[in-house]
Amino acid sequence: MKKTAGRRAILIAGPTASGKSALAIRLAQKLNGVVVNADSMQVYRDLRIITARPSLDEEAEVPHRLFGHVDAAENYSVARWLADMGREIMTIEAEGRLPILVGGTGLYFRALTEGLSDIPQVPDAVRVELRAWAEDKTAEEIHARLEAVDPTTAARLRPSDPQRNLRALEVFTATGQPLSAFHDTRSGAVLDIAECVAVFLEPDRDALRQKIDARFDAMMENGAGEEVEALMLRGLDPALPAMRAHGVPGLIRALRNEISVEEAVAIGKADTRRYAKRQHTWFRHQAPEFAWVRVEEAEGRVMQSIEFSP
């Protein structure tokens, strides 16, 4: 087996259902690599099926790291992922292997190569007070309160994302400064993008939409409903990230007989298609260092980008 020279890692990004995991496994087999997760939903052990985590058979083909290692009751952050990733990369390199990071979470890749903003620690008392206030508030009401004190950050966040809006409120309450004030100072990067091969898979848009729908149907056939039911029965806070994974809220509503399963599936498919569109937009504007490649050309392009040494 030859070793890569001058490259510390391969970064594979792309929209959901674009074939990232299959590409990562093929490259790991050729390059003595380890597949490492860079998807914010695939970290949760409760949701193998609905988040399209690699199957047990796929995980047996090559080493996989940081998949399904977090309980759904936890609010796993970018900062925790970055710390975990730093340790994993050190371990993989010590093993003489090549880290192959795969996922669609743009903020993970940005933190990996640029670090995180130096945001002060929020006191527990502030966090508890704001979480208690938010318990009976809608996502729109939480966003409106943020907009009143930090309009710049509010404009960057979706009103339908209460978790991130609350986080911004916590920072303002604790520091008296908007979250946007801390965005210009970053530290803790794990990799230099110049030492990596970074690609974004660009599938045909129509084919991707069809694949997203077909994959969701396959998930349902393979037990996604039962998986979500087990999660629902845990009685977790609905604001937790795992509880908001694509497909989960709709299926929970179906399990409670609020809507039909068919309606839940339609909602899950639509949410996933919209997410794929947002991934395209984010990487196009926020990650210019990633080379956009056609799916069928990706493996060859990555291999050509790597320098080899005996």
| Residue-level pLDDT, tens digit, the chain, 310 residues | 344 556 899 999 999 999 999 999 999 999 999 999 999 999 999 999 999 999 999 999 999 999 999 999 999 999 999 999 999 999 999 999 999 999 999 999 999 999 997 777 788 888 889 988 998 899 899 999 999 999 988 998 889 888 889 989 998 998 888 887 776 666 789 999 999 999 999 999 999 999 999 999 999 999 999 999 999 999 999 989 999 999 999 999 999 999 999 999 999 999 999 999 999 999 999 999 999 999 999 999 999 998 643 3
CA dihedral 89, 90, 94, 99 (to 10 degrees): 10
CATH class of 3-116+187-309: alpha beta
Query: Architecture of 119-184 per CATH?
Result: Orthogonal Bundle (1.10)
All CATH 1.10.20.140 domain ranges of the chain, comma separated, are 119-184
All CATH 3.40.50.300 domain ranges of the chain, comma separated, are 3-116+187-309
pLDDT digits (tens, 9 = 90+) for 56-101: 999 999 999 999 999 999 999 999 999 999 999 999 999 999 999 9
Q: How far apart are CA 269 and CA 210, in angstroms?
A: 10
In this structure, are strands 116-117 and 33-37 parallel, antiparallel, or unpaired?
unpaired
| AA letter at 263 | E
Phi first, then psi, for residue 9 (nearest 5°) are: -165, 160
Q: Which helix (H) or strand (E) holds 33?
A: strand 33-37
Phi first, then psi, for residue 292 (nearest 5°) are: -85, 125
